[in-house]
Chain A
Amino acid sequence: MSDGARFDELIHPATRLSVVALLAAADWADFAFIRDRLGLSDSALSKQLATLEEAGYVAIERPVSERRRRVRARLTPLGRERFTAHVAALQDIIAAPSG
């Protein structure tokens, strides 16, 4: 693998990878935004975010705005670093000569 590439088994499952990829392009995203855009159920997204939060990849915030409780998720620096390394690892697999 090239420098900086590191396959991450925690990020790799398809749903979790989509969640992390979405968060990697954002400073933060609302729970409802992630759920709707990725077509997930509340429970499925909660489970994925809990796993990522436990690993220290995602931070969950609960700001109160317009008297509405919201849940926001953001990628932590560790999560961003691991995601970048994981994408590099995937690219290495594709770039490697087959056989």
Chain B
Amino acid sequence: MNYPTEAEARLALESVRQGRQQVVDEIGMPWWYWWGLAAAWIVLGLLANFDVPWWVVTIATVAVGAVHATVSRRVFAGRQRTGDVRVRGDVAAERGMLLVIGFLLVLVGVTIAVALGLSADGAGHPSIWASCFAAVLVVLGGPRMMLAIRNDAARRVIEE
């Protein structure tokens, strides 16, 4: 059997890395996911701002949370951005899903902090402004976060 030289082995491993990178590049959420989440965030801000009974706000918040948890898990767990390939679970990693959930928890904190800050400053409609701010973070930050997840997956593939 003819074993490759060290240089040939390095070239072969580079082919392996490139082949797997093609699949890692497919990890992602569809664009509509981030816009839908941003829209839901603004709706919650509007509900909190106007004189809506507290139970309506509570039900709406729980509903958005439940729908989001279901949709994000299904979309991410499916790992099919294009429908042409399904990324293996150990490549996409639960770490990616945890990042998505962590991102949302941070958004909740940011929304509350901004709303309290605006309210203390005497600004009108603080919850609406705070939710709009969070919505912009979702639309701009979501895709960037997916890029970070892809880079993380690619790094782990190379390190394997």
A21 to B160, CA, bound (A): 13
Grouping DSSP codes into helix (H, G, I), strand (E, B) and loop, the A interface class, with mixed when no group exceeds half, is helix
* Size of interface on B: residues with Cβ below 8 Å to A: 29
Which residue from A18, A32, A87 sits with its C-beta under 8 Å from B18?
Answer: A18
**Complex CA–CA separation, A18 to B44 (angstroms):** 48
When distances are taken between beta carbons in the complex, the residues of chain A under 8 Å from B10 are 94
Query: Which residues of chain A are within 8 angstroms of B22 by Cβ–Cβ distance?
Result: 22, 25, 37-38
25 contacts between A and B (CB under 8 A): A7-B1, A14-B15, A18-B19, A19-B19, A20-B19, A21-B15, A21-B17, A21-B18, A21-B19, A21-B20, A22-B22, A24-B88, A26-B23, A26-B87, A26-B91, A27-B89, A28-B85, A28-B86, A29-B84, A29-B85, A90-B4, A90-B13, A94-B6, A96-B6, A98-B6
B contacts, CB < 8 Å to A: 1, 3-6, 9-13, 15-20, 22-24, 82, 84-89, 91, 157, 160
Residues in A lying within 8 Å of B, measured CB to CB: 7, 9, 12, 14, 17-22, 24-30, 32-33, 37-38, 87, 90-91, 93-94, 96, 98
